[in-house]
Amino acid sequence: MAYITVTDLSLGYESHVIVKNLDFSVNKGDYLCIVGENGSGKTTLMKTLLHLREPMSGQIVTGDGLKRNEIGYLPQQTEVQKDFPASVYEIVLSGCQGRLGLRPFYSSEEKKLARENMERMGIAGLEKRSYRTLSGGQQQRVLLARALCATRKVLLLDEPVAGLDPVVTMQMYDLIEELNREGITIIMISHDIEAAAKYASHILHIGDKIFFGTRKEYLEGEMGRLFANKREGGERNNG
Amino acid sequence: MDKLFLYLQFPFVRYALIVGVLIALCSSLLGVTLVLKRFSYIGDGLSHVAFGAMAIASVLNFTNEMVLILPITVLCAVLLLRTGKNAKIKGDAAIAMISVGALAFGYLLMNIFSTSSNLTGDVCSTLFGSTSILTLTKEEVWLCIVLSVTVLLIFVLFYNKIFAVTFDEDFSNATGTRANAYNLMLAVVIAVIIVLAMNLVGSLLISALVIFPALSAMRLFNNFKSVTVFSAIFSVICAFLGIVISILAGTPVGSTIVAVDVAGFIICCAAGMITGGAAR
Ligand SMILES: Nc1ncnc2c1ncn2[C@@H]1O[C@H](COP(=O)(O)OP(=O)(O)OP(=O)(O)O)[C@@H](O)[C@H]1O
Ligand SMILES: [Mg+2]
């Protein structure tokens, strides 16, 4: 059984349907990239997967031992207010909140986990810094470390590289790839089809046409050919 | 000084200090969350609701006005905080609407039905805080202590959850924290504090007790724990000084406390600018 199985899902707001008849599944160890135009419903889909909103119809079933609250999440734009006083450590530690249950305070194990994840994301030195004074790339790392505290299984990333410079973008992709190699299942929204084609194992394209399949199927299919043409064109222009 | 010690002999002065400090403590703790959630004005709105409820209670000749005031205020708090996010009427507008509406109705009711000869005086003292903090009975003091300790306990026990939900509600929901339950809890606690605080500073000045400590702390510190702790200390000191000054100088209690808060805020701003404060 797959981690997440989506059958005949429709998404929308009030009575307005955005996406219809979505079918796909995510298995342990997959790296799924969700691509599509602005406003095609990618973020809406992710929020539905996280049970932050109800689907209009259809089903989302989690299986293979994945519990509903074992999904880590990196939101699209961090809607954190500009003047929120919070240190990096406090934010990363709050990733452990799902483990708390009714216990009021974090255990030393959870604190250790938070420190380990900060180390992994290369932000150990920023521990006491205020989140609001960090650069975009550093902020993304903090939120990724927080997400890692919440899960060892599935990470949902909504445009993790938006607004980052090329170098930091590459670092971010490398980090994510490494996490995937360590066995964490990745579901990532991206506008960067090139990166999707490079890193993903599966691709879900939503929009007027819906496509779901492995990367190979995608590249060999209609949309992939379009993409390949575009890339060749781009290279020719550059050269 | 001698005068102060002399006054401290009177139980009503001690009661006023205890109650004042406790209320200041509670409202500052929640103030941090409210300010960060962009609900600074909720104190104001709810206190007007409480004022309206008080008017209804006095028209209906309730002996114990709390029986009516508390439930109505709690209800409004729940409605405001819950619908804050996806309501047709946005948070601040909803608060303004309820606030002004309740205030107008309260005054209207009092005007039509009141038998008091000094109506303006009554209304004025409800709005700006009366001397009722100096006429507290022992039972009222105990009630206040019990409620404050409860609020304090709730805050300490749920501190981590409150931080998480304030910082990022979606993430909390996604990882299994029931953010709405905590919002509901906050709403109830806020309503209780506001009804308590009305005795102290009156409904118009409650926002000050909620906002000033949080804003002052945010000038100086940049992590949540320090901000929370400092705003509690700030609020307690200001309330204490305010009450002492008002007793010694014979000024109105509520306004004096708020004046001290403002002064404290200015000091914190200056200190923040000199040390670089929260910019680090
Ligand atoms: N709260 C809302 N109420 C009503 N409609 C909404 C709401 N949020 C989003 N929408 C609409 O739903 C559609 C899909 O939005 P969504 O945010 O899922 O797009 P997206 O694929 O993530 O776009 P982007 O690439 O810009 O992030 C859009 O047309 C948007 O206008
Ligand atoms: Mg989006």
So what's the pLDDT on residue A28? 92
- Whole-Å CA distances, A138 to A22, A118, A121, A129, A169: 34, 11, 9, 11, 11
Q: In sequence order, what are the residues at sequence separation of 6 or more whose Cβ sits closer than 8 angstroms to the Cβ of residue B32?
A: B213, B214, B217, B224, B227, B228, B231
CA angle centred on A199, ends A195 and A205, rounded to 5°: 65
Radius of gyration of chain A (CA): 18
Does residue B225 lie in a domain region? yes
Cβ atoms B165, B179 nearer than 8 A: yes
Nearest beta carbon to residue A85 from set B170, B171, B223: B223
So what's the pLDDT on residue A25? 93
Burial of residue B67 (CB within 10 Å: 0-12, 13-18, 19+) is: exposed
So what's the pLDDT on residue A29? 92
Cβ–Cβ below 8 Å for A73 and B170: yes
B110 closest CA partner among B97, B123, B124: B123
CB distance A40 to ligand 1 below 6 Å: yes
A146 membership: H or E segment, kind and range: helix A136-150
Cα(B163) to centroid(ligand 1), Å: 28
Digit-coded pLDDT (tens) for B261-279: 999 999 999 998 888 765 5
Lowest-confidence pick of B108-112, B154-158, B200-204: B200-204
The tokens of B246 are what? 């008002």
Going by their DSSP bridges, the two strands A185-189 and A16-26 should be labelled as: unpaired
Distance from CA of A86 to the nearest CA of B (A): 4
Q: Is some CB atom of chain B closer than 8 A to the CB atom of A41?
A: no
DSSP state letter for B278: G
Digit-coded pLDDT (tens) for B37-85: 877 778 788 888 888 888 888 788 776 777 788 888 888 888 877 765 5
Distance of CA A165 to the CA centre of its chain: 19
So what's the pLDDT on residue B111? 78
Cα(B182) to centroid(ligand 1), Å: 27
Q: For B182-200, what is the mean pLDDT?
A: 84
Give the up-direction half-sphere exposure of residue B106: CA atoms within 13 A in the CB hemisphere: 26
- Inter-axis angle of helices B138-157 and B159-167, nearest 10: 70
So what's the pLDDT on residue B229? 96
Q: How far apart are CA A183 and CA A66, in angstroms?
A: 14
Q: In sequence order, what are the residues at sequence separation of 6 or more whose Cβ sits closer than 8 angstroms to the Cβ of residue B184?
A: B78, B81, B82
Does residue B5 lie in a domain region? no
Q: Which ligand is nearest to the CA of A45?
A: 1
Cβ atoms A184, A197 nearer than 8 A: no
So what's the pLDDT on residue B275? 81
Does residue B204 lie in a domain region? yes
Q: Which residues of A159-182 are buried (b: 16+ CB within 10 A; e: fewer)?
A: bbbeebeeebbebbbebbeebbee
Residues of chain B above pLDDT 90, percent: 25
- Whole-Å CA distances, A85 to A90, A95, A146, B214, B268: 10, 17, 17, 11, 16
Mapped onto helix, strand or coil, the DSSP state of residue B74 is: helix
A45 closest CA partner among A226, A172, A207: A207
> Average pLDDT of chain B?
83
Does residue B1 lie in a domain region? no
Digit-coded pLDDT (tens) for B73-121: 888 888 877 765 555 556 677 778 888 888 888 888 877 876 665 666 6
CATH of the domain at B23: 1.10.3470.10
Digit-coded pLDDT (tens) for A62-84: 888 888 778 888 888 665 556 78
Q: Is some CB atom of chain A closer than 8 A to the CB atom of B8?
A: no
Residue reference for tokens 């002065």 = B13
CB distance A18 to ligand 1 below 6 Å: yes
> Which of B130 and A95 is assigned the larger pLDDT?
A95
Does residue B3 lie in a domain region? no
Q: How far apart are CA B15 and CA B23, in angstroms?
A: 12
Mapped onto helix, strand or coil, the DSSP state of residue B54 is: helix
Q: For B189-196, what is the mean pLDDT?
A: 86
> Which of A145 and B13 is assigned the larger pLDDT?
A145
Cβ atoms A202, A169 nearer than 8 A: no
So what's the pLDDT on residue B110? 77
Does residue B41 lie in a domain region? yes
Closest atom of ligand 1 to CA, residue A191: 25
Cβ atoms A199, A173 nearer than 8 A: yes
Closest atom of ligand 1 to CA, residue A36: 21
Structural domains of chain B, count? 1
DSSP bridge pairs for A189 = A34, A158
Residue reference for tokens 């492995």 = A214
Residue A216 identity:
K
So what's the pLDDT on residue A238? 46
Cite the DSSP H helix spans in chain B: 2-8, 11-36, 42-59, 66-83, 91-113, 119-128, 138-157, 159-167, 169-174, 179-201, 206-220, 224-249, 253-275
Q: How far apart are CA A32 and CA B139, in angstroms?
A: 64
Give the up-direction half-sphere exposure of residue B51: CA atoms within 13 A in the CB hemisphere: 33
- Give the residue numbers spanning the domain of B152: 11-275
Q: How far apart are CA A122 and CA A138, in angstroms?
A: 9
So what's the pLDDT on residue B130? 58
Does residue B197 lie in a domain region? yes
- Inter-axis angle of helices B159-167 and B11-36, nearest 10: 40
Q: What is the ipTM of this complex?
A: 0.86
DSSP bridge pairs for A213 = A203
Q: What is the pTM of this model?
A: 0.86
Cβ atoms B200, B254 nearer than 8 A: yes
Cβ–Cβ below 8 Å for B222 and A73: no
Residues lining ligand 2 (ion), CB within 5 A?
A: A 43, 76
Q: Which stretches of chain A drop beneath a pLDDT of 70?
A: 77-82, 223-239
Mapped onto helix, strand or coil, the DSSP state of residue A12 is: strand
Does residue B212 lie in a domain region? yes
Maximum CA extent, chain B: 59
* Partner A, chain B 121-180, Cβ-Cβ below 8 Å: 156-161, 163-164, 167-168, 170-177
A31 closest CA partner among A136, A160, A118: A160
Residues of chain A above pLDDT 70, percent: 90
So what's the pLDDT on residue A239? 38
Q: How far apart are CA A45 and CA A207, in angstroms?
A: 12
So what's the pLDDT on residue A187? 95
